[in-house]
Chain A
Amino acid sequence: MSVSKGVWSKFVKRSPTLALRNKALRTALLSPDLPSGPVSLKSKASKRKYQSIEGLDQIYPLAYEVLEKRSEDIYSKIESLDKNSPTYAEQKEELEIAAEKFNPEVVYMAEYMKNSLDRTQPVFRHYLKKTWEGYSKMLLMQRLETLAVIPDTLPTLEPKVEVKLKFPHNNQDRWIEPGTLLSSNVTKMPPSLEVIEFKESTGDLYTVLMVDPDTPDLAQDSYSTTLLWGVKDVKLSNTDSMIDAKKLMQNEDCEFVEYLPPVCEKNTGKHRIAFWVFRQDGPLENAPKGLRREFFKIRQFVEDNKLTPVGAHVIRTLWDRNTENVRKMYGLPEGRVFTRERVPYLKN
C-alpha cells in the first residue's frame, strides 16, 4: 500500500528521474513500514536483527501526506506565476526546489546516490550545491589562498562551479584533491576535468587555462608564469560536464595551446600548477592557436577576452627522477640544475 496519493506519484508534469529506480527501495520508502525488510542493509545477519523505529509506521504516512500537500500547493503556485515577468525563471526554479526538497525519494537520492543525480533537475542541483559548499568549496579556497595562487595568478575567485580533476596515469578513477603533490609520471598526460554547474546550463562555453607561476626567471631574478595548456570554446551543459580527451578529439579547435606537462627543473622547489576555468560571453577571439607559452600574462589574457573566472583547481609538482623521461617524451631539451649559490660560469 503506497503512502503517496498525490503529486509525488504522478509523472505527467514531473520528471521521472525524481523517482527512485530501485523498485525495492521505492516500495520501502512509499510504504509505512518495511515490507521486504531493510533493503539498504547488505548482510543477512544485520537484516535479520534490524529493528525499525517504534511508531514510525504510524506517523510516517501522516508526515508524507503533510509534505505532499505542501508540495501540491507550491506546484499550483508555479502554475499561477506571471510568465512575462523578468524574474520568472528564477522564481520558478526556487519554487521547484521548494516543491521537491522534502520528497523522501529525492532526499534519499541526494543523500546516498550523489554520483548519479540528474543535474537537469533544480532540486538535485540545490542538494549538490549544498554539499559542495559544505566542504569542497571551502577546501579549494583554503588551498588557493595558502598556496597564494590567489593573487599570484588572478586577483581573486568567487567559485560558481565545482571543478574536479583527474589524470589518466593509471586505471584508478580518482579525483585529485586541490593542493596535492603529484609526480611527473602522473601529470605526463593531459587531465580530464569535470565542471559542475549549479545553475541551469545548456551549451555554455568555457575556457580552461593551466599555468605554472613558478618558472624561474633568471634575468629578472624572479619567477614568471608559463602557460601549459589552453582550451577554449568547450560546450558544456548540465548533462554533459566533462572536458576530456574524447571531447577534445572531436573538436580540435578547442585546444589552442597543446598540453605540455609540468617538467620542473632540479632544485626549483615545488611548482604550483593552477587550473582556471572561465565562463565565456561568446566565442573566444583573442586566443590564437600556438600562443606563446613563456611569460604568459594571465591577467591580460582574461581582460582581453572578457572572461569570468568561475572555478579553479591547483596541484603541485616538483623535479623527480622521472622528469627527464617525460622531457624526452615531449622532445624537450634537458632541464637545468639549479644550485644553492648562483655561480657565474654556470649561468649559461
Chain B
Amino acid sequence: MDQYQGKYNTKSTSVKRLMREATELQEATEDYSAHPLDENLFEWHFTIRGPPDSDFAEGVYHGRILLPAEYPMKPPNIILLTPNGRFEVNKKICLSISGHHPETWQPSWSIRTALLALIAFMPTPGIGTIGSLDFTPEERKKLAAKSQSYVCPECGKITDELATGVSKPATEEEKSLIDCVAFKAEEVQEPNNSGETEGETTVPEDTSLPSLRQRASALHSPLETAGANVLDGASTSVNSGNFQAPAHTANISILDQHRSLIIMIVVMAIGLLVLRRLILI
C-alpha cells in the first residue's frame, strides 16, 4: 500500500476503504483475484474463473473495475476485457438489484461481493439487457477455452492471477445478496440524442468501418436498435451503435473524438486517392 501514501488523502473515507479492500484481497483465491493499479487506487484489475457447471467453466476472465470518487456510496463499474459471450467487452457494466428495485447498491457491499456476484450472474440469460450478449453455448465454450491465453498488458498472463487450492466461498449472507444482484451496462441515452445524431456527428456514414460495425453489432437491446432504425432509416439494425454516440460520460466523449478522427483520416485518404487518380490521368 506504500505506493499510495502521500499520493492520496488517507483521511478520505474512499481511500481508506479501498486500501482496506486491497489488503483484504491481496491473496488471490482460485475463483477471483483483484488489485488496484500501482498508479491509481481507483482503478483495479480483476480476474475471475467462470462458474463451474456452466458454459464458462473453462474460462478465466479479466477486466477492469472503475471506482467512483464517492465509493462506497456509489457502485463500482466493471469492464470485462476478455471476450466471453455473455457481456460485451470494453463496456461499463454496473451492479444493481434485479427486478423492481434497480440502482440500489449498498455501501456495505465490496469489490469482493461485486466479483462473487459477477461470477454468479454469468450463466443467467442475457435477454436483451443492455450490454448483454446471448451467444450460443458452443461459442461461449470456444471463447472460454481461448480466454486462458489472454494476456493483459498491465498484469501479464491472466491464468497466473488466480491461485490454486485457495478458496474463499461466499458466506450465507453474501449468497443472499448475490442472488438478487443484476448487472447491466450503463445507460448512454440522453434526451437530446436525436438532435446530436443528425447534427455534427457524421456517424451514419461510417458503417463501412469494420471497427465500428463490430461494436455496433454487439448491441442487442431491441430498444436501441429500433431507435437507430428510425434515425438512420437506410441502415440495417446492425447500425444501432449510433446510439452510443450521444453520451454523457467522459469516456464516451473521448470515443466520439476518436471516431471523428478516424472518419477524418478515412475521408482524407479517399480524397488523396481521388486526387492522385486525377493527377495521374
- The finding on whether chains A and B are genuine partners in a shared complex, rather than unrelated, reads no
**Residues on B facing A (Cβ under 8 Å):** none
**Residues on A facing B (Cβ under 8 Å):** none
